[in-house]
Structure 1
Amino acid sequence: MSASSSESASRAEGLHVRLQQGNVVLGLMLALDVISELEVLNASLQKSTQTVEGMVSAVSVVQESLKSKRTSDHFQEVFKEAEDMVEKLCLEPIALPRTHRPPKRYTGPAPAHRPASPVEFHRVEFYRVLDTVDTQITDRFMQPGIEALKELEALLLTPIENSTQNSVEKYPELQWEDLKIQLAMFKRKYPFKTTADVTKILQAMPVEVRGLFEQVDTIVRLLMVVPASSAEAERSFSGLRRLKTWLRSTMTQKRLNGMAVCHIHQERLENLNRRDIAQTFI
C-alpha cells in the first residue's frame, strides 16, 4: 500500500495509521454510545403514523437516557471496553493528545489547565458531546410551534372535555362551538387513534356525510400541512431521483409517471390481484 504513489494509496495509508491509535478507537466507541440512541430516535420519528405528542415523548425518553450517561461510572465502563479492545488488537495505547498552549489573552497570568490523565481528558470531551446533543435536541423539538401543534392534535385525539377554547384561538378557520358538537358526534361514531386514522375515515365518507364534520376536516388539514415527520416526502424525492437516473433514458414520460405512482403507492400495489391485472392485457 505504502509503495504505491497514487492519491488513493496515500489516503488509505493515512487512514490505516489513524486506526492504529487507541485514541481513535476510544473516540469511535464514545461516538457510537451516543449516535446509536439517536439513530433509534430517528427511526421512530420517521414512521408515517407518528403523532406530535408521540414525537415529543420519544424525544424526552432519549434525552433522559443520554443524560443518565453523564456519569463517571458510565464513562469508565466505555473507557475500559476501549482499553480491552486496544490491547486485544495490539494498537497504540490510549494517551493524552498533544498539548496546545492557549493564548495568554484567554488564560491570563494563571497557567492553563492540563488534564492529568487520558481518562480525565476524554471524560470532559464526552460530557461536552452529551451537552451539545441535549442542547440541539431541545432547540429543535421544544419550540413554541411544537406546543401549538400538540394542542391542536390534542383537540382531535383526546376527549373534548380536556380542551378549552384557547386551543383554537390561533386558528380563525375553527369555530369553537361548532367544533365541540362535531367532534363529539365524530368520536361517538368512529373509533380512531391517530390523525392518519381520521384522514382515512374522512376520505371514505360520502360528500354529504363529510359535510357534517367540516370543522374536524379543517383540523386534519391543518395537521397535514405540518406533518410530524417528513420522511415519506424525502423518500419520494429519492425514489424519483433513482427513476430518472437509471430508467428515464429507456422509457417514455407516460411510463415514467406510471412507475413513479407504483413506487409511491407500494402498499396499495401489493394488495392488487395480479391475475386480474394480467387478464386486462390479454
Structure 2
Amino acid sequence: MKLRTLCETHWTSRADALLTFLRAFPVVVRALEHLQENGDVKAGQHLHTILKWDFIIGLVVCEHILQSTVFLSTFLQNVSCDLMEAARESEVVINTLTNERNDPEVWNALFEKASDVAGHFDVIPSKPRTAGLQRHRHNVPAESPTEYWKRSLYIPFMDHMTLEITDRLLGGTVQDRFLAQYLVASSIHRITLDIKGRLFDAFAQYLTPHDQHVFNAEMRSWETKWNGADVSIIKPTTLQDTLKECNWDLYPRISTMIRVLLTMPVSTSIAERSFSSLRRIKTYLRSTMGQGRLSDLSLLYIHRDQQIDINSAIEQFATDKKEVPVLDIECIQ
C-alpha cells in the first residue's frame, strides 16, 4: 500500500497513515537502508529513529486505538449526519475503548505484535531507566517493559481518546440538547417524562419564562397535535420540516429548541467544505469584492441545491426597497 501523508487534524487520515506505514514497515526499512548505503545522511537518521523500541510500540498502539474511531470519524464527515446517531455511536466507541483498556488480553496482544515487528530487525523490547527525578519524560515505576509501556503509553492514550470524544460530542448539556430530535412530529410518540425534564434543563437558558409548568403544558399540546393527527396527514420526519409546521405564536418554546438544535454543528466538515468553496468565488477577477457580497455569493454557492423562486425574490427586493417602485416581473423576464 502506498504511504500516505499524516494529517494533523483528521483522525481518519491519521489512522490510515499509521496503518499503511505499519504494513509497509519492512519495505520502508529496506528503502532507507538502500538510501543510506548510497550516502543519504538523512535516510540514516530516519532509519536510526524508526528502529527503536519506543517508536515501534508507539506505532502499534496508536494505530490500534485510532482504528476504533475510523467509522465514527467517517460518519461525522457525512453531509447528512444525524446528531442522535452520532451521539449513540460515540457511546459505542467510548464503551469499546473502556472495555479494551480494562482487558489485559488486548494489551498483551498489542505488545506481542510490536515484539514480532521489532524481532525482524533485532530490536529488543526495553524501557527507559527509572530515575529518582525526571522531568523530561514519563518516569513511571515499572519492573518490566510491558508494564512500563502500558502505564506510560497505552492507558494514558486510551483515557485521552475517551475524554476527547466525550467532551466534543457528549460533554455537559450537549447530549441532552440532542434529545430535541424527539420533538420531530414522527418521533413525538417516543418522548417520555424523563426526556421532557432533561429537555427543559438543557434549554432552560433559552426559554422565557423559565417555568417548567408552562413548558409541560406546551409539550402536552404539541403531543396531542401530532399523536391525534389524521392518518392521511403526513408527519414531518426532519427538524427542518417540523420547524415549518411549528407556529411560533402557539409553540414558542418548542420552536426555540428546534432552532437551537439546528444551529448546533455535529462536526466541522460543513465549515471545511465552505472554506474550500471560497477559492471558486473570490478569484483574481473579484479581488475587490466586499464582505457582504462574498457572504451572499457563498450562501448561493454552498446551498445551490435549494430551489429559489425568482418571482418571490424580486417581489421581496422591491418591497424592502420602498423608494424603488414595484417592478414589472413580466417585463424583466
Normalising by the smaller structure, the TM-score range is: 0.5 to 0.7
Q: Does 1:101 align with 2:141?
A: no
Q: Supply the AA of the counterpart residue of 1:39.
A: V
Q: Can you list the C-alpha shifts for 1:212-255, whole angstroms capped at 9, x where unaligned?
A: 87545433212123233343123212332x436xx712557599
2:173 counterpart SS class: helix
- Cα gap change, 1:234 to 1:219, in 2 (>3 Å): same
Relative contact order higher in (CA < 8 Å, ≥ 6 apart): 1
The aligned residue for residue 72 of structure 1 is 104
Q: Does 1:143 align with 2:171?
A: yes
CA contact (8 A) 2:115 2:125 kept: no
Q: Supply the AA of the counterpart residue of 2:129.
A: T
- Aligned pairs, number: 248
Structure 1 position 163, deviation (Å): 3.9
- Cα gap change, 1:116 to 1:211, in 2 (>3 Å): closer
Q: Does 1:133 align with 2:161?
A: yes
- Cα gap change, 1:168 to 1:101, in 2 (>3 Å): closer
Q: Does 1:86 align with 2:123?
A: no
Structure 1 position 18, deviation (Å): 1.2
Distance 2:239 2:163 in 1: 35
Farther-moved stretch of structure 1 (173-182 vs 67-76): 173-182
1:159 counterpart SS class: helix
Q: Does 1:248 align with 2:288?
A: no
Say which of 109, 117, 121 aligns to 2:148.
121
Q: Can you list the C-alpha shifts for 1:86-135, whole angstroms capped at 9, x where unaligned?
A: 34xx424142143151329xxxxxxx975333222222221222123223
2:131 counterpart SS class: coil
The aligned residue for residue 22 of structure 2 is none
Say which of 193, 198, 214 aligns to 2:239.
198
Say which of 229, 246, 264 aligns to 2:302.
264
The aligned residue for residue 47 of structure 2 is 16
Distance 2:178 2:165 in 1: 17
TM-score (norm 2): 0.58
Structure 1 position 68, deviation (Å): 2.0
Structure 2 counterparts to residues 224-239 of structure 1, below 5 A:
224-239=262-277
CA contact (8 A) 1:19 1:25 kept: yes
- Cα gap change, 1:191 to 1:263, in 2 (>3 Å): same
The aligned residue for residue 47 of structure 1 is 78
Q: Can you list the C-alpha shifts for 1:171-206, whole angstroms capped at 9, x where unaligned?
A: 42585334432454346433344xxx2304655x7x
- Cα gap change, 1:132 to 1:261, in 2 (>3 Å): closer
Distance 1:186 1:60 in 2: 31
- Cα gap change, 1:186 to 1:219, in 2 (>3 Å): farther
- Cα gap change, 1:100 to 1:14, in 2 (>3 Å): farther
CA contact (8 A) 1:96 1:121 kept: no
- Cα gap change, 1:143 to 1:198, in 2 (>3 Å): closer
CA contact (8 A) 1:18 1:24 kept: yes
TM-score (norm 1): 0.67
Q: Supply the AA of the counterpart residue of 1:225.
A: T
Q: Does 1:153 align with 2:187?
A: no
Farther-moved stretch of structure 1 (164-173 vs 32-41): 164-173
Distance 1:113 1:198 in 2: 51
Structure 1 unaligned regions, length at least 5: 105-111, 270-282
Structure 1 position 37, deviation (Å): 1.5
Q: Supply the AA of the counterpart residue of 1:199.
A: Q
- Cα gap change, 1:31 to 1:191, in 2 (>3 Å): same
Distance 2:304 2:127 in 1: 52
CA contact (8 A) 2:77 2:267 kept: yes
